[in-house]
Chain A
Amino acid sequence: MSVSNLLENWSKFRHTHPVDDKGHPDWEAYPSDIKWAMSIDLDACTGCNACSVACYAENNLPVVGKEKYSHGQAMHWMRIERYWDETAGVGEFSADQGARFLPMMCQQCEAAPCETVCPVGATNHTEDGLNSQIYNRCIGSRYCSANCPYKVRYFNWYNYPEQENAWPSPLNQQLNPDLTVRTKGVMEKCTFCKQRTYTARNNAKTEGRPVQDSDVQTACQEACPVGAITFGNLFNPESQVAKQWQSQQVELTKEVQDKDEKEGNRLRGYRILEELRPYPSVMYLERVRESAV
């Protein structure tokens, strides 16, 4: 596709706001019958980092080494954030109730702030509801990273195959041939394991049936020792992820959930920074702590 074609058909490649899309709220006009989404149970999550390492193994993420890490150049598409209780006062951390772990990766926003600022349309929305990154269109302006409220976009400052730390032979033989090794100057991020969802969709299509939960797992979900991560098609009412979203009364196209306005509501589901209206596709379930001890 040429750039002029891209510019002429701008709206086809950009979702500015899901609420403005045709067919809302029933998603009738959504370009496909798949909307990938995730939910993460923070009460089960132990912060063990298995998801993050699984992501390195699956998605050809380079190891950058200490110096580049100190410059904030780590390439971990999935990272674990760790928080302390601060009720005693600002900066006074208490460990009495343990810590809080939060796996953070691209939230695959429906109205992604990163998409609207890309000068070349390298990041845009796919028909199955992913915020995609087209590596060979990316010119490395890094506007998307600057505009991402979750800070989950990672820029290739170096040509990693040539860096001593990343894949000295024969470590390069581990690389997953289902996806590329990115080159210097492009932006990258979590894809919800695009290579896996793509295969699952094609297999289901070949067999003439819709995609089911059993067809695909993301690498992080597959590894998670406590099964805290659920992934699937939000438009399929039979999928686990759709059931979870529904039972937690979290809706994709709302920035303020109805349940939050009712008092004394014990539901745990929420999305991070919902109030910024990016309509993220990842729901988190709040951590719970017993008060009797």
Chain B
Amino acid sequence: YVTLPSYVIPSISNYFNSTCAQCEAGCNIMGRVREGRVLKAEGNPNSPINRGRMCGLGLSGVQAHYNPDRVRQPLLKGEAIAWDKALGVIADKLNGVKGAEVAFLTGNMSGHVQALLGNYMDELGSKNHFSYEAISPAVLRAANKKAYGVSMPRYRIDKARVVVSFGADFLGAWVSPVHFSQQYAQFRKGNRPEGRGVLVQIEPKMTLTGANADRWIAVRPGSEGVLALGIINALGKAGLAIPADIAAASKAYTTERVSSETDVSAEQIEKLAALLKERTPSLVLAGSAAEGYAHGSQNAAAIALLNRVLGNVGKTVEASASVPFPQIAPTVGNRASLVSLNDGLAAGKYKVVFSYGVNPVFSAPAALKFKDNYAKADFKVAFAQYLDETAQAADLVLPLDSAMEDWATVVPEYMVTPEGAGSAAYAQMSFRQPLMDKLYPDTRGIGDILLALLKQRKADKYKEFDDFYAYLRSAVLKNKVALGGKATDDDDAFWDETLSKGFLPMKGIAGTVSAKASASDLKLPSAAADRDYPLRLIPSISASMRDGRNANEPWLQESPDPLTTIVWDSWVEINPKTAAKLGIVEGDIVEVTSRSGTIRTQAYLFPGIHPDAVSVPVGYGHEAMGRYAKGVGANVFAMLDAVFDKETGELALNETGVKISKTGQRVLIVKEEGPVGGSQAGKKKIAVQVAADKVDLSKEV
């Protein structure tokens, strides 16, 4: 420093509130800053989302910021150029191009950056904003909308006595995991009127949530909806009143039939029905494992019926609030959007394509031929922090600030329920502020770039804003009253207070949920055997690797997968029985082949997977991006068949059939566990078995 700021005392840390950018949950964080450097992200204790807690992915955010492989200068066809030249090239390329010929591809978005993007698209006269997420609960949203009237209700795990989750990995990578972990802690500790909760997880491949269940049920892949109807049928037999339409739809699903179709024992189905009947309220969740099929929406609809039958709607499935400003409300991405962009690209509809925060060249299934279609556009601009696969295929790469250097506002899609009055209408806008000076002089924030592009077209309208910060501050202060301030509040004081809190609670629009799940047009196909590709591939989504966008953060690569304890590579999980039939042992390098592609990876024998399924984690196998991601593991996205959910058009992640063959090579798997695997040196059981009415943890300190 030339002059030391008064709040900086050498050796004492300052904490600044901000918002995590590592996943969609939007946890509120505090950056620990010392002598001008951000050292660590910690949770903001006042946040109703994460209540001061963090996950490993969020903690690794500093490694995205300090990453040695960040793009540092604008690159035109690989050559470094100056910013004004780069923006000039964009203006040239847009010259004479019609609005309909421009496409803008982003991931999930919200807040004021989205508002600016909307303005820019309007100026271009383009309606082609595609919002794409490789892993998104798109089927869930559509099914929820039908069943409850809202696409993302509030789930109250903390209020439920029993949670039955059909593949929803709410402790790992589903929707808002740190928030759900808080609810789960209350659910387990039992210091609440409902007592200790019971978790049952139903899925073909064990997730982190499955590993924490009281009972993990391996269901035959794709038959989740059948099992849900079977449970309803069993509930009816046990004496629960079932609405007539649902009773009619589930009548044919007798326990014997369901047991043979789902591979879940009749005894287990009856036990589960008895538990659900006895302990209310319960909560039934449908997650990605149940939805990744051509009939994924049907599965989700059948599972939602259970909540209606059990009377959970309104109790543990609550209405969520929405923000009163549509232009900053979250736009949520899905796969269907990518398919429609891809079709347009294939038909040569788009001349200029922008992409921000997404990597479709890596994560699109090979069958879509996205890379070839992307090349057909005349001019491709990638806003990127890394030179990832998509940035490499682009003509112009614009280097972005890290999330710890940039301004933004974030409105999370999943609105939490805080304690206290007015919680039904609670909505929240979180602020992301720079935690330190820029590391590199030539990176820019996405808001600043959009503002510069807007000034190219409407200089007058935006001339009062020097930068995105000025725009953001003015936009927030203009709506001070709607954002919980008073008209008499001093602007500077309100702004400073907002930034020091890190988020603004808002009076949102309270929604309503309705128990209107209907069984009328439910069609659940029986699984057909595929003789050529007999095993079902379940691409697994881990809490740290997710869709692979954070693969270049070394803490995540070295953090063992919780279930297999493998590091720095991908693997294929095979049930020991299946492996024995195929003559495969741990560490065999195998070829996993589908109709659309082949990957080679190491075999890991895993008890937590159905014998008909194998599982490979997604997010590995980058061909670019950086030193920690490149060449680590194999990319399972590339071998997925292009099968889509019939109702939503979402990619059916679990619809790929595969076969496995040995290559004759073998490696020692690099993992945390030792040669004895999961054995506990003489101790056989993993937990104390007790009946819930006998266990009372609520008295514990």
Can you list, as one digit per residue, whether each of A248-277 has a CB less than 8 Å from chain B (1) or not (0)? 000000000000000000101000000000
**A84:B560 contact, CB within 8 angstroms:** no
Q: CA of A226 to CA of B186 in the docked complex: distance in angstroms? A: 8
Which stretch of A1-9, A124-132, A163-171 is in the interface?
A: A163-171
CB contact under 8 A between A82 and B558, given known A57-B62, A174-B62, A288-B697: no
**A70:B608 contact, CB within 8 angstroms:** no
Q: CA of A113 to CA of B60 in the docked complex: distance in angstroms? A: 35
Can you list, as one digit per residue, whether each of B162-193 has a CB less than 8 Å from chain A (1) or not (0)? 00000000011000011001101100110000
Q: Give min CB distance, B186 to chain A, whole Å.
A: 9
**A50:B56 contact, CB within 8 angstroms:** yes
Is residue A12 within 8 Å, beta carbon to beta carbon, of the partner chain?
no
Residues of B within 8 A of A226 (CB): 181-182, 184-185, 188
Residues of B within 8 A of A49 (CB): 56, 543-544, 559-560, 562
Is residue A244 within 8 Å, beta carbon to beta carbon, of the partner chain?
yes
Is residue B531 within 8 Å, beta carbon to beta carbon, of the partner chain?
no
Can you list, as one digit per residue, whether each of B42-53 has a CB less than 8 Å from chain A (1) or not (0)? 110000001011
Is residue A212 within 8 Å, beta carbon to beta carbon, of the partner chain?
no
Residues of A within 8 A of B196 (CB): 288, 290
Is residue B67 within 8 Å, beta carbon to beta carbon, of the partner chain?
yes
**A171:B56 contact, CB within 8 angstroms:** no
Is residue A225 within 8 Å, beta carbon to beta carbon, of the partner chain?
yes
Q: Give min CB distance, A286 to chain B, whole Å.
A: 5
CB contact under 8 A between A87 and B62, given known A66-B569, A97-B216: no
Is residue A201 within 8 Å, beta carbon to beta carbon, of the partner chain?
no
Can you list, as one digit per residue, whether each of A97-117 has a CB less than 8 Å from chain B (1) or not (0)? 111110000000000000000
Residue from the set A49, A74, A165, A240 with the largest chain B CB neighbour count within 10 Å: A49
Residues of A within 8 A of B184 (CB): 44, 46, 226
Can you list, as one digit per residue, whether each of B89-116 has a CB less than 8 Å from chain A (1) or not (0)? 0000000000000000000000000000
Residues of A within 8 A of B55 (CB): 48, 50, 223, 225
Can you list, as one digit per residue, whether each of A221-247 has a CB less than 8 Å from chain B (1) or not (0)? 011111110000000000010011011
Q: Give min CB distance, A149 to chain B, whole Å.
A: 11
**B200:A293 contact, CB within 8 angstroms:** yes
Contact partner, B66, options A66, A96, A170, Cβ 8 Å: A170
CB contact under 8 A between A174 and B679, given known A56-B555, A69-B568, A84-B686: no
Can you list, as one digit per residue, whether each of B214-231 has a CB less than 8 Å from chain A (1) or not (0)? 111010000000000000
Q: CA of A285 to CA of B688 in the docked complex: distance in angstroms? A: 11
Which single residue of chain A is at the shortest CB-CB distance from B185?
A226
Is residue A153 within 8 Å, beta carbon to beta carbon, of the partner chain?
no
Which single residue of chain A is at the shortest CB-CB distance from B183?
A226
Q: Give min CB distance, B676 to chain A, whole Å.
A: 8
CB contact under 8 A between A82 and B692, given known A222-B43, A240-B701: no
**B555:A57 contact, CB within 8 angstroms:** yes
**B568:A43 contact, CB within 8 angstroms:** no
**B215:A288 contact, CB within 8 angstroms:** no
Within 8 A of B (CB), among A136-174: 164-165, 168-171, 173-174
Is residue B567 within 8 Å, beta carbon to beta carbon, of the partner chain?
yes
CB contact under 8 A between A224 and B53, given known A57-B40, A290-B692: yes
Residue from the set B43, B59, B189 with the largest chain A CB neighbour count within 10 Å: B59
CB contact under 8 A between A95 and B608, given known A69-B568, A240-B701, A293-B200: yes
Which single residue of chain A is at the shortest CB-CB distance from B564?
A82
Q: CA of A150 to CA of B478 in the docked complex: distance in angstroms? A: 59
Residues of B within 8 A of A210 (CB): none
Q: Count the A-B residue pairs with Cβ separation under 8 angstroms: how many?
A: 271
Q: CA of A99 to CA of B679 in the docked complex: distance in angstroms? A: 11
CB contact under 8 A between A171 and B63, given known A44-B188, A54-B54, A66-B568: yes
Is residue B529 within 8 Å, beta carbon to beta carbon, of the partner chain?
no
**B211:A101 contact, CB within 8 angstroms:** yes
Is residue A47 within 8 Å, beta carbon to beta carbon, of the partner chain?
yes
Q: CA of A10 to CA of B687 in the docked complex: distance in angstroms? A: 43
CB contact under 8 A between A171 and B67, given known A57-B40, A97-B215, A225-B53: yes
Q: Give min CB distance, B53 to chain A, whole Å.
A: 5
Q: CA of A95 to CA of B59 in the docked complex: distance in angstroms? A: 30
Residues of B within 8 A of A175 (CB): 39
Can you list, as one digit per residue, whether each of B653-696 has a CB less than 8 Å from chain A (1) or not (0)? 00000000000000010101100011110001111111110110
Is residue A93 within 8 Å, beta carbon to beta carbon, of the partner chain?
yes
Is residue A180 within 8 Å, beta carbon to beta carbon, of the partner chain?
no
**B198:A293 contact, CB within 8 angstroms:** yes
**A98:B40 contact, CB within 8 angstroms:** no
CB contact under 8 A between A64 and B66, given known A53-B59, A54-B54, A225-B55: no
Q: CA of A50 to CA of B62 in the docked complex: distance in angstroms? A: 14
Q: CA of A84 to CA of B39 in the docked complex: distance in angstroms? A: 37
Is residue B272 within 8 Å, beta carbon to beta carbon, of the partner chain?
yes
Q: Give min CB distance, A207 to chain B, whole Å.
A: 16
CB contact under 8 A between A52 and B559, given known A46-B208, A289-B688, A291-B690: yes
Is residue B241 within 8 Å, beta carbon to beta carbon, of the partner chain?
no
Residues of A within 8 A of B562 (CB): 47-49, 80, 82, 101
Which single residue of chain B is at the shortest CB-CB distance from A241?
B701
Interface size range of chain B in the complex: 35 or more
**B54:A50 contact, CB within 8 angstroms:** yes
Contact partner, B54, options A47, A171, A225, Cβ 8 Å: A225
Residues of B within 8 A of A74 (CB): 558, 567, 672
Which single residue of chain A is at the shortest CB-CB distance from B27?
A225
Q: CA of A133 to CA of B53 in the docked complex: distance in angstroms? A: 29
**B686:A47 contact, CB within 8 angstroms:** no
Q: Give min CB distance, A110 to chain B, whole Å.
A: 22
Which single residue of chain A is at the shortest CB-CB distance from B696?
A266
Residues of B within 8 A of A170 (CB): 66, 68, 439
Is residue A32 within 8 Å, beta carbon to beta carbon, of the partner chain?
no
Which single residue of chain B is at the shortest CB-CB distance from A273?
B681
Residues of B within 8 A of A222 (CB): 42-43, 52, 54
Contact partner, A99, options B41, B272, B563, Cβ 8 Å: B563
**B214:A47 contact, CB within 8 angstroms:** no
Q: CA of A39 to CA of B34 in the docked complex: distance in angstroms? A: 31
Is residue A22 within 8 Å, beta carbon to beta carbon, of the partner chain?
no
Q: CA of A177 to CA of B216 in the docked complex: distance in angstroms? A: 45
**B607:A95 contact, CB within 8 angstroms:** yes
Contact partner, B690, options A168, A224, A289, Cβ 8 Å: A289
CB contact under 8 A between A70 and B668, given known A48-B543, A225-B55: yes
Q: CA of A165 to CA of B63 in the docked complex: distance in angstroms? A: 13
Contact partner, A87, options B272, B670, B685, Cβ 8 Å: B685
Q: Give min CB distance, B200 to chain A, whole Å.
A: 6
**A286:B687 contact, CB within 8 angstroms:** yes
Within 8 A of A (CB), among B331-357: none
- Closest 10 A-B residue pairs measured CB to CB? A84-B678, A225-B181, A53-B56, A100-B686, A66-B568, A95-B608, A289-B687, A226-B185, A287-B687, A290-B214
Question: Would you list 22 pairs from A and B whose C-beta atoms are within 8 A, ordered by A residue?
Answer: A46-B171, A46-B211, A69-B558, A81-B672, A82-B672, A85-B686, A95-B607, A98-B211, A99-B206, A165-B628, A171-B66, A173-B66, A176-B39, A222-B42, A225-B54, A225-B182, A226-B185, A285-B700, A286-B688, A289-B687, A289-B689, A290-B690
New A-B pairs, 19, CB < 8 Å, besides A46-B212, A52-B559, A225-B182? A46-B211, A49-B562, A63-B555, A65-B558, A69-B558, A82-B563, A83-B686, A85-B685, A87-B685, A93-B678, A95-B607, A174-B38, A174-B63, A177-B39, A226-B181, A226-B184, A227-B182, A247-B700, A290-B691
Residue numbers of A with Cβ under 8 A of B are: 41, 43-44, 46-50, 52-54, 56-58, 63-66, 69-70, 74, 76, 79-87, 90-91, 93-101, 164-165, 168-171, 173-177, 222-228, 240, 243-244, 246-247, 266, 268, 285-293
Residue numbers of B with Cβ under 8 A of A are: 11, 34-35, 37-43, 50, 52-56, 59-60, 62-63, 66-68, 171-172, 177-178, 181-182, 184-185, 188-189, 196, 198, 200-201, 206, 208-216, 218, 271-272, 275, 439, 543-544, 554-560, 562-563, 565, 567-569, 576, 607-608, 627-628, 632, 668, 670, 672-673, 677-680, 684-692, 694-695, 697, 700-701
